[in-house]
Structure 1
């Protein structure tokens, strides 16, 4: 979703519509020219009682555009991924629901405050304070956070391994704590959603997309790395059935092929979980990940098999892990993969 910046009169109109008063009556200062563009809105700088604030205003018509765009994309995606049968709707509904949730700034505020509170024991991890009294479903007000984006940090400090590893460790611990302890996760890990301040704290922004992880998915998903497909093929297949990768209507050859294919895929993607320390700056690992992605996208046999496979929860979990791995690779960080466990308070 991309639109030109909102005009000053429209910005003033939207603030008055959603907050009940004109911006100059609410804030001490308010810049009608946006400072940053968010995915479905734009961010304005404001101040109140000595505090610098970021006011995110949603573009008009976003929700309606999402419904319209998905209705156009759906038939193309169905043919492209060879989706067949009544079950295809669950995948589109998963994406639609998450996109619509992102248009609800009241929900984002709630998710932001909740996860920030539950992750406050992780050192060097910071979150803006949010202001419910200055927020609605279409406007979100928070502290203005100063810092540089991860991409800028990487180019500036890529030779200072202690700094890089420290930021990478915080990022890893943040995500593993969410996934394994909270069972819900910030599912949009890209450089624009993170800042690093002058004290090398990692600042997390934008909780519009948060994925809940139900036990029915979590348990088999994280059991797979512990199972050797060669030593315990039956257990491995059982887990693939639980995760809906294998289906009861698959024939013998399809089961053999898919078990081998996903066995190799899982073997690569779960490597960080099999060691105590992992170097994400090792391009050999990232090349393997990219190689598998290319293989899956061009696999002719896979294209012929019914594409309705895999739990709907894979969509945002895969997005989360690929995004996290990409960020850590760009940083070139080496992390202790087990350190997040010390933050668990049952």
Structure 2
């Protein structure tokens, strides 16, 4: 397989979930593997995937690199490559419907959030893919599109494990983002990592960002003139986006449907085909319904106008989380994901329900 750098490039239209995954598998990670092989660090990455020492900057006796910055940079690449190796065990792909993606991106996640609920992630080590791409502004002012988000597990000692491992103390979210030039051409793919604790019953977005920025290792071989405030804004945007998607797929009634994919055909004389992708379509029922209702409200707003004298203007209330108390002495609580509520010109509310399973207060 060629390790030629695939950038710059223009993505074909339409972008598909399998096309994005194929690009990562056949374009991005072979380049990373070649980079690691150049520094004699492929086995180091495989040890990380198997639960070896992970924390960048910690050093490794088997690596012989010319400087501390190069060591740190290679360790970051090795960590990303190890995440990909662990994803390949099951090859679970969450294909998020575009309207559902934008709905979750707009969800209110600034209140106290249910940490322990994330332990109920339905499948091990999934990768979320976003065919429309979610636009974000990097700390350096460069435009980017979030294209994928790997979810991997970490133990309390920061060694890597499956998300389904009982010893998993946190999830690492590894975002793969297209970096765009002024004409929208993809000139590179960036990796950003955010850790979210899964042992506590609750957490806040602010505490998550504080913890991430406290020990975050930025790519040491790249010049970086962005301010601390710009870095925080970038991390907040990614954390909000990623955690909202995690919370949704952990919902009791999440709109998730398996889409069978057969193995790729074997060329004559070729090797046995690899395990097929385990594709799950997320939001492909709810997303189109949300879009249709939004379009209907927009049409109603245009038809009634602002001078119609109606007391209720058509509008949309953002999706959000809400905690409900129940049980003896209301000692238990459950956190429900409330999708967008659409209020039409007649004051009627239209909602699509999905709930997060109960957790103890």
The answer to whether the superposition gives a TM-score over 0.5 is no
Select the structure that is richer in helix: 1
TM-score under structure 2 length normalisation: 0.28
Select the structure that is richer in strand: 2
